[in-house]
Amino acid sequence: MTQVCPACKASSPITARFCVSCHYAFDYSPLTQPTAPQAPQSAKKLCIGCRTINQVEAAYCYRCGLKLPEVLYPQASMTGNPAGFWIRMAAYLIDQILLSIAAILLAVLFAGMDVNEAINQSVGVATGWATSLIATGLGVIYYTLAIGQWGQTVGKAILGLKVTRGDGSRLSFQRSFARCWAYLVSTIPLGLGFISIALSSQKRSWHDFICDTRVVNLRG
């Protein structure tokens, strides 16, 4: 339901106190104005540009400023807003600490190192390569299984993040495996692929664009 502005003849929501076009002040009284049907509180608007979830009454996305479509989506069908650079970095560091501890233990058990050698990497080239292979293999297995099964590593779960496809669906194990190696594309050119998270309106890295994935914040 709408009301017509007597000044500019533009239509505004029946509950609007001011015209959306010329800011004319309506003679508004909640006792006399008809009650407009309300959208369910669980309904939201989704920005088609940066995929940010907005409140149903919003006309423009609060994150990127793009005009929002009028289509409403149930809150339950949305996975969350794009996760920013710093929270993704924090989750990555948590995972790397856990992987480093696991790699040290495996190096001690299977590569014949003592704890100090494993920690300080003060060993010969051959053993150093063995340690690198252990760490790389462990990381690929960890990220492939965790993201493919749950969409979260331990670090992401702690901070409320989740990896999804671009449409919000779950990753397959094959795509999760490919995403592990796509990290190289983001890492090799001086880490510019990760800086893309901060610069992109969708908060996506290069490996996200390559694999059609996004990292969302389930709490924000």
Whether residue 52 is found in the same domain as residue 109: no
Whether residue 16 is found in the same domain as residue 69: no
Q: What is the pLDDT of residue 72?
A: 79
At CA 65, angle to CA 60 and CA 66, rounded to 5?
Answer: 70
Q: What is the pLDDT of residue 139?
A: 92
Domain count, the chain: 3
Q: What is the pLDDT of residue 76?
A: 54
Q: What range defines the domain where residue 155 resides?
A: 81-217
Q: What is the pLDDT of residue 215?
A: 95
Residue 181 CB partners (closer than 8 Å, separation 6+): 140
Q: What is the pLDDT of residue 30?
A: 42
Residue 65 CB partners (closer than 8 Å, separation 6+): none
Q: What is the pLDDT of residue 37?
A: 45
Q: What is the pLDDT of residue 75?
A: 64
Q: Where are the alpha helices (DSSP H) in the chain?
A: 85-110, 115-120, 125-150, 154-159, 173-187, 192-199, 206-211
Q: What is the pLDDT of residue 126?
A: 43
Q: What is the pLDDT of residue 34?
A: 43
Whether residue 118 is found in the same domain as residue 14: no
Q: At what angle do helices 125-150 and 85-110 cross, to 10 degrees?
A: 130
Whether residue 73 is found in the same domain as residue 114: no
**Token pair for 57:** 């009454």
Whether residue 105 is found in the same domain as residue 12: no
pLDDT in tens, 67-86: 888 887 776 556 789 999 99
Low-confidence ranges of the chain (pLDDT < 50): 29-39, 122-127
Whether residue 18 is found in the same domain as residue 103: no
Whether residue 170 is found in the same domain as residue 202: yes
pLDDT in tens, 18-35: 777 777 777 654 444 444
pTM of whole model > 0.85?
A: no
Whether residue 137 is found in the same domain as residue 106: yes
Whether residue 170 is found in the same domain as residue 110: yes
Whether residue 199 is found in the same domain as residue 111: yes
